[in-house]
Amino acid sequence: MNTSETILISVGGSIIVPDEVDSATVCEFKRIILSEVAKGKKFILMVGGGKTCRKYQTAAKEAEPTLSNNDLDWIGIHSTRFNAHFLRVVFQDYAFEDIILDPNTPVQTDKSIILAGGYRPTASTDHSAVLVAKSYGLKKLVNLSNIDYVYDSDPKKNPDAKKLEQVTWAKFREIIPDTWGPGMNAPFDPVAAREAEALGLEVAVMNGTAVENLENYLSGKPFKGTVIR
């Protein structure tokens, strides 16, 4: 893939499966990606586990409270791989035939879309996406989640939380926890944030359920979201 025209998107599992599979959002996402492919762009899509992951992890912990983080991680990893395979099938012949499981090894393909899933325990899909960016020499990452902006504190707990349209990595890392754990729900995980800062990676966080917002970003138009750099 020509990295000068490759766009890396981390697709939160909550976008695909908020509770049940959101077929309308999936169809709109497919339309937008293929419209950009028609313009010559290529994509690497790192797919998360979302609620599918968390529901299985919760059920597993209820059935066996002594499960290790490693066991919970593997549940999450396989849920991301399933979601990635789902999108690979949706994109059919536009997509590379295999799901990428090791972000450290770039693939050579003429296909316009590469799908990637979870890598290994202790590595979230955020972290894996940063490793993909490093492997392909990419400097920008789009992080599609179910939030409109990054806030200076948790808006669910603080009604006075302020949205941040631009934020430095140093400031962002003050907002999020210091450590990562299986099923963590944060705009971008702390390990990934440290590595992204070291790489000089720019991350645009936006709500992927409003798919036209992604369309605006890809077209160079104003969009609703937070840029971390």
Structure confidence at residue 187 (pLDDT):
77
**SS3 category, 152:** coil
3-state secondary structure of 77: helix
Question: So what's the pLDDT on residue 63?
Answer: 97
**3-state helix vs strand vs coil in the chain, percent to 5:** 45, 15, 40
Domain that holds residue 54: 3-228
pLDDT at residue 204, rounded to an integer: 96
pLDDT score, position 170: 92
The predicted structure's pLDDT at residue 146:
85
Q: What is the pLDDT of residue 40?
A: 93
Give 10-residue mean pLDDT values along the chain (229 residues): 77 86 92 95 94 91 94 93 96 97 93 95 88 94 92 87 94 82 69 92 92 92 94
Predicted local confidence at residue 19, as pLDDT: 82
H/E stretch holding 87: helix 69-91
Q: What is the CATH number of the domain that holds 152?
A: 3.40.1160.10
The closest of 116, 171, 165 to 138, measured between CA atoms, is: 116
CA quadruple 12, 18, 20, 22: dihedral sign: negative
How many domains does the chain divide into? 1
